[in-house]
Each structure stands twice: as C-alpha cells, then as structure tokens.
Amino acid sequence: MPPTTFSELSHSDQLHVLDGLTRAALPIHYGIPATAELELQQYEDNAVWRVTPVGSETSYVARLSIRDGRPADQQRSEMAWLESLAASGGVAVPGPVTTSSGDHVVPVTVPGHDQPATLALLHWVPGTAEPPYQQPGVAAQMGAATAHLHRNAATVDIPAFDRPTWDYETILLKGAALTDPDATVNLGDHGRETLRAVADRVTQALATDPSEHTRIHGDLHRENMIALPNGGVGVIDFDDCGWGSPILDIATVLSSIHRIAHTTPGAYEKFTRDFLDGYAGIFPLPDDLDDLLEPYLLLRDTFVLNFVTGALANASVAEWGHERIAGILANMDAYLAGQPYPGRIR
C-alpha cells in the first residue's frame, strides 16, 4: 500500500503533523521549549498558533505556510516591512522574531507534501480582533491605522521589496477563479460567466488608473485589525502584503464593515465618514478614491473568490466558503444589472 500523502490526511491529522513539526522547530531555531502552549488560531492558507512558553506572560505567533506559501525571499520582504512599521511606532503590528542564526524564515519539511513549507515567528499583538466599529472613535482609529501603513510605504524605502502585485490583471485576469482548474469548477459555469463580465468592466475602469503602486496590506479586513487594550487599533496578518493601490486596502476595510453594518440604517455611512476622516488626519486620501472605490470593491471580492474557490478542499474554508461564493456572485450579478456595488459611497 503506497504511503499516504499529506493532502490525503484528514484536517485534524494534518494539524497534528503540523503541530509536531512546529514544536520541533521552536527550540532549535528560537529557543522556545517544545512544551510551550500552542493555541490554534486558524488553519486555512497557513497554520497559525499563539505560542506561549509555560510560565511566561509573553506570547508569539507561529505561522507555518504550507499551501501556496510565498517563497522565503518574499516572506523576508514581508518581515522587513513589519520591522519598519514596528520601528516607526505609528501603528501596532506583529514584529518578526529572528532565529538563532539571524534569519526570519525557517524551511520545514512536511512528510508527504509536495510544496515547500516555511515557519515564521512574530510577536503577539495583544487585544481583541475585529474592533467594535460602532463605538465612538473606533472607526477613526481604524482609518488612522490604515493610513499609518500607507504613510510608511510612501516615506520609507525598503530595498528589493519582493512581493506580489495586486492589480486588476493579477486579481481578475490571472486569478485562480478564472485560471485554476479546480477553482473554476468550484466557481461554476454561471459564476465564470459573471466574473468574466465583471472583469471586462473593471478592466475598463482601472486600465487607465494613474495612481502609483506602493506597499499595501492586501487583506485588510476587520478581523485583521486589533482593538488594543489601552486604546487604538493595531494591524496583523501581512501574509498578502504587496504592491498595489492604497484604495484596495481602503476598499477591503469598507467592504468588511459593510457586510455587518448594512442592515442598520446609516451605520455604514457613519463608519465610512469617520474612517476616512481618521485616515485623512494621518495621510492624504487618494485623489481618485471617489471615482475608483467601486471597481476596487469588486476587485476585493474577486480576491476573496480566488482564495475560496481554490481552498474549498480545506475543511475550515468549506464551512463558510460555498455561502461566501454565492453571496459575492449575487452582488456581482446585481452590479451587472445596474445596481451600485455593496460598499460604494453614494
């Protein structure tokens, strides 16, 4: 009987393997005992744990990238930006922890797995994920945190920043939902037709976008923002950071809030005003924000489709993925029929 490949293991068995590999690597590369408590945060693209050594009040984040992970050099660029942001002090971020040899990324061999895996360790950002957006001042703090990322990107050079480019061509025309065989099947015939029609419209809107690409977070939804214990908002999960328009980050925040705020009259509109005011207090808003927000909202949802349609084999993603695909496609169909896209500022 041939050996079982990693992908053939159950979700829980995969986690058991990854937990063991992480525990083995921590003492060798970071001096953290294998007896440390590992509290699982997620296992979708990456396996992510909160790591707390026994008897310590200091926690870390261990991220083991095993699916479509960025190459090690790209992860080092991510860590370089995090170091720059942490040094600036403008916004709380998970600063990287170097290994005993001075590196930021550890190669890990996963038995039966045909993709390279890498481990990175970061400092834990204390607080609560998904800041309470309706509480006074929180929307402005979320805007300020976003602006601090973009101000750093505009004012601090990081040589050889090797990260993906997030534009309409990469996300729409070359994204998994329309190019990966498994993902296209999960999207379905109607979904592919809808997404191609959206791609035609968004391409027309963004092909002449004059905005300069800069460093962006790339996945700045509300759950990647942290309400800090002493006030303010931090930002986590830079795994998708890259080159792109700051409007994509802004659209990502607004889209994620619209999903939970749209049923309360006026809640989204108030959040948006306060968020943008908070942003503008730190860094100028993009000149073309009003004109290009809607196509970037569509680009954000296409980014989500690319991930979900390509990751439905993961049990965690499958729990919510089908419903998310259906919801996005329904919004896109309504947009193609002439309705404003959800999150657009009227």
Assess whether 219 and 115 both reside in one domain. Answer: no
> For position 154, which CATH number holds?
3.90.1200.10
| Per-residue model confidence (pLDDT) at position 115 | 84
The 10 Å CB-count burial string (b at 16+, else e) for 38-48 is beebebebbbb
Q: Residue 259 falls within a domain, yes or no?
A: yes
| Per-residue model confidence (pLDDT) at position 1 | 44
Tell me the pTM.
Answer: 0.95
Assess whether 157 and 280 both reside in one domain. Answer: yes
Q: Residue 34 falls within a domain, yes or no?
A: yes
Assess whether 178 and 314 both reside in one domain. Answer: yes
Q: Residue 171 falls within a domain, yes or no?
A: yes
> For position 100, which CATH number holds?
3.30.200.20
Residues in the chain predicted with pLDDT less than 50, given as ranges, are 1
* Token pair in block for residue 91: 């916004």
Assess whether 71 and 220 both reside in one domain. Answer: no
Rounded to 5 degrees, φ, ψ at 63 are -120, 115
Assess whether 82 and 152 both reside in one domain. Answer: no
Assess whether 157 and 91 both reside in one domain. Answer: no
Assess whether 75 and 106 both reside in one domain. Answer: yes
d(CA 62, CA 77): 17
* Domain limits for position 315: 129-337
Assess whether 191 and 113 both reside in one domain. Answer: no
Structural domain ending residue among the three candidates 124, 150, 182: 124
| Per-residue model confidence (pLDDT) at position 209 | 73
DSSP summary character for residue 224: G
| Per-residue model confidence (pLDDT) at position 340 | 97
Structural domain ending residue among the three candidates 124, 143, 166: 124
d(CA 122, CA 327): 34
| Per-residue model confidence (pLDDT) at position 44 | 86
Total tally of structural domains belonging to the chain: 2
| Per-residue model confidence (pLDDT) at position 168 | 93
Q: DSSP states of 16-39 as a string?
A: HHHHHHHHHHHHHHH---TTSEEE
Using a 10 angstrom Cβ sphere, with 0-12 exposed, 13-18 middle and 19 or more buried, the burial of residue 190 is: exposed
Instruction: Return the number of other C-beta atoms located less than 10 Å from residue 54's C-beta.
Output: 8
> For 252-309, how does the pLDDT look when each residue is reduced to its tens digit (9 = 90+)?
999 999 999 999 999 999 999 999 999 999 999 999 999 999 999 999 999 999 999 9
| β 165-166/242-244 pair status | parallel
**Three-state SS at 173:** helix
| Per-residue model confidence (pLDDT) at position 4 | 82
* Token pair in block for residue 225: 């923002």
- What lies within 8 Å, CB to CB, of 160 at 6+ separation is 77
> For 173-203, how does the pLDDT look when each residue is reduced to its tens digit (9 = 90+)?
999 999 999 999 999 999 999 999 999 999 9
Assess whether 272 and 325 both reside in one domain. Answer: yes
